[in-house]
Structure 1
Amino acid sequence: MYIHQRKDWPQFSWDPDVITPILGEVRYKQGKILGVMQSFGFQLQEETSLKTLTVDIIKSSEIEGKLLNHDQVRSSIARRLGIEIAGAVASDREVDGVVDMLLDAIQHYIEPLSDERLFGWHNALFPTGRSGVYKIKTGTWRDDAMQITSGPIGKEIIHFEAPKASKITNEITIFLDWFNSNQNTDLVLKAAIAHLWFISIHPFEDGNGRITRALTDLLLARADQSKLRFYSISSQIQKERNKYYSILESTQKGDLDITDWLRWFLECLLSSMTQTDETIAMTLKRVHFWETHKAIDFNQRQQKILQLLFDDFYGKLNVSKYAKICKVSTDTALRDLQDLLAKGIIEQEGNGRSTSYRLC
């Protein structure tokens, strides 16, 4: 028996002696992060939020096995928020759709949730009406049975089964009434409960996980009372993907005491917040760099590489890697790198085939 099949569903309960201390830690860390960010200028807040949202969207999609282009996601967010960035690129409809969904959730976190709003998000996720090569029903509830699985095709692990399609309308009505009502439940706890509740219903043919995490971010934005995001729960869930599916499965097969789920969620949230210090430090470094070198003329390729060096550049930068990233010849890449060397922006490491470059 799954929890949605129990007589008292969805009357969740938990042990406050276990949850309250962890919630207190989360709220303390949350307040500390918001306090630090408020002490910075708006530009730095925007920079940090842009990085957080980019990671949030990419990692949320990765949980479902969808790999999105970092530059496209970042550029799409920046365009929609009116943020000027170096090395902006065009983005495809799929990227724009997931960006539109998350930004609607966060930028309009005060607005009530409705089935029409959820349908809009679902349409945005699947602008062609297809999930990969498969045609799906968009902007409406599923009309078939649903098993929640993970793992490669042919080797899927079934974690639980969602309610029958005939029950979805009623299940969503109850969920929306709860979601939009004012209770005494702490908003961070409400985010954790909403996550579990919506993923349990699994009302759409596809995209349920990404929509669930958008709902989570909406309630966390309410808890922060901010349209800017400085920590990413999706990023941490992706890191703990196996544990995520494991705790979902055990919770679905248990009773309606969700203490273990809430504890896991809050600990996951705490871990995501510890990454924010690193993000803030890197953002400060990047903002300082561009301010210090604002009089220097960098071409678009150089701007792109410098931005990558400040973000998530893996390994060492060399001529061939520069050429591949910027889609230019090795001669052009070498000229760009020599120009950056002459300007004192980067320094050379090693010689010959082992030559690489790093920021000064």
Structure 2
Amino acid sequence: MKTFDYSTLNNLVITPEMTTKISQIGELRGQLAQLAPREAAVLDRLLEVAKIQSTDASNRIEGIFTSDTRLRQLVQHRIQPHDRSEEEISGYRDVLDLIHDQYAYMPIRATTILALHKKLFAFTASTWGGQFKDRDNQIVTVFEDGTTETRFTPAPAIATPQLMTDLCQGYEHALMEAKMPAVLLAGAFVFDFVSIHPFRDGNGRMSRLLTLLVLYRSGFEVGKYISIESLIEQTKTDYYRVLKESSDGWMANANTYTPFLNYFLSILLQSYRDLVARVRPATTKTSAVALIQTALEEALKPLSKRELMGLIPTYSEVTIARELNALLNEKKIVKVGQGRSTKYRLV
């Protein structure tokens, strides 16, 4: 039977690369602790952008999406969902908001996870929300060309309730023991949740929501202001690869967590780097035009208005839109694409 040895994580050897990433994450957390009290307005803007980006990216990974306008209106609770995709988007929005606001009151227990899953499907006609799977399933990777690959066969449905209880208890006990860095325990918990695949539907979205929750409860609040979901979406190929590499021997407790944890640390480190970079410029006032041009120069690719808003939290959406139009009129930038996929690049 699968067990969760969170005291050693299957005798995990913390590599020098992992140690360096953990150290850098700690340093960036310290910098943010000094910057945050002075930059409340900037953080508030980042929070609103991150909510939209996270809801969009996590659902889009699963092939669930709507228009940019309706997405923003749904996240801001200004409209009601009108189809299945928007119902699922609305459920994600509500769980995301709940974790942001109430994470301190959400112990990592099977009952907590079931309650969150129920809310994820609250707007849909689905009958399995808040219930563990009643049939065996497989973890299938869907590639961009439409082809699929069965990556892993999770634990059978009959074993799932006990496995989820054991997982949560093993994780919480290891946190109290503090023998292993909390950030590694968080990554291992997310990986094992995905490997159990405890629900008929919504496992991927729940894994990303639980990533936010376990990080919050361990003192890593970067997911409030930077969309971790977006970073995962941008690196989907690597994400699926490390899941597969860390899955070998999972049921026999012989798997290695190293590939997934190394990836997990990279995503968390990039999140902190992005947040520090976006907060720090607020200390020296630079024009919106200059920041837009700099962002486009450094990106080395076209950027959407939403992406620019996330990179330039010192200015409002209205200001960024106005300056984009000015740069277009001055023929300093051009549009790439139309409608939902409109982006901008330097001439």
Change (3 A) 1:186 1:273: same
**Is 1:45 aligned to residue 26 of structure 2?**
no
For the residue of structure 2 that corresponds to 1:109, the secondary structure is helix
Counterpart of 2:79 in structure 1 is: 90
Counterpart of 1:241 in structure 2 is: 236
Counterpart of 1:103 in structure 2 is: 97
Deviation (angstroms), 1:308:
5.8
Q: Is the 8 A contact 1:97 1:125 kept in 2?
A: yes
Counterpart of 1:269 in structure 2 is: 268
Matches of 1:165 and 1:286 in 2, distance apart? 56
Counterpart of 1:292 in structure 2 is: none
Letter in 2 for 1:247: V
Matches of 1:74 and 1:45 in 2, distance apart? 18
After superposition, the C-alpha distances for 1:15-43 in whole angstroms (9 at most, x for unaligned) are 12433222111222233234322221x33
For the residue of structure 2 that corresponds to 1:15, the secondary structure is coil
Deviation (angstroms), 1:104:
1.8
Matches of 1:205 and 1:75 in 2, distance apart? 29
Change (3 A) 1:281 1:31: closer
Match of 1:145 among 131, 136, 139: 136
Q: Is the 8 A contact 1:102 1:214 kept in 2?
A: yes
* Counterparts of residues 277-296 of structure 1 (less than 5 Å): 277=276, 279-280=278-279
Match of 2:163 among 157, 167, 171: 171
Counterpart of 1:82 in structure 2 is: none
Deviation (angstroms), 1:10:
4.5
For the residue of structure 1 that corresponds to 2:191, the secondary structure is helix
**Is 1:62 aligned to residue 53 of structure 2?**
no
Change (3 A) 1:127 1:348: same
Matches of 2:131 and 2:103 in 1, distance apart? 22
Deviation (angstroms), 1:261:
1.9
Q: TM-score, normalised by structure 2?
A: 0.71
* Counterparts of residues 186-205 of structure 1 (less than 5 Å): 186-205=181-200
After superposition, the C-alpha distances for 1:102-161 in whole angstroms (9 at most, x for unaligned) are 12223222221333332232222223545xxxx562210101111101216973111101
Matches of 2:120 and 2:33 in 1, distance apart? 30
For the residue of structure 1 that corresponds to 2:131, the secondary structure is coil
Q: Is the 8 A contact 1:60 1:234 kept in 2?
A: yes
Deviation (angstroms), 1:287:
12
Matches of 2:285 and 2:153 in 1, distance apart? 46
Unaligned stretches of 5+ in structure 1? Answer: 80-88, 290-306, 314-339
Q: Is the 8 A contact 1:286 1:310 kept in 2?
A: no
Deviation (angstroms), 1:196:
0.5
For the residue of structure 2 that corresponds to 1:127, the secondary structure is coil
Deviation (angstroms), 1:247:
0.6
Matches of 2:23 and 2:202 in 1, distance apart? 32
For the residue of structure 1 that corresponds to 2:218, the secondary structure is helix
Change (3 A) 1:137 1:308: closer
Letter in 2 for 1:244: Y
Counterpart of 1:124 in structure 2 is: 119
Letter in 2 for 1:103: D
Counterpart of 1:259 in structure 2 is: 258
Counterpart of 1:303 in structure 2 is: none
Q: Is the 8 A contact 1:48 1:283 kept in 2?
A: no
Q: Is the 8 A contact 2:4 2:166 kept in 1?
A: no
Change (3 A) 1:205 1:285: farther
Match of 2:154 among 138, 162, 165: 162
Unaligned stretches of 5+ in structure 2? Answer: 82-86, 289-304, 312-321, 336-343
Change (3 A) 1:34 1:232: farther
Deviation (angstroms), 1:265:
1.1
Matches of 1:240 and 1:196 in 2, distance apart? 16
Counterpart of 2:25 in structure 1 is: 26
Matches of 2:59 and 2:20 in 1, distance apart? 31
Counterpart of 2:330 in structure 1 is: 349
Deviation (angstroms), 1:201:
0.8
Deviation (angstroms), 1:101:
0.8
Matches of 1:276 and 1:226 in 2, distance apart? 11
Q: Is the 8 A contact 1:97 1:127 kept in 2?
A: yes
Letter in 2 for 1:173: T
Matches of 2:66 and 2:285 in 1, distance apart? 24
Deviation (angstroms), 1:193:
1.1
For the residue of structure 2 that corresponds to 1:108, the secondary structure is helix
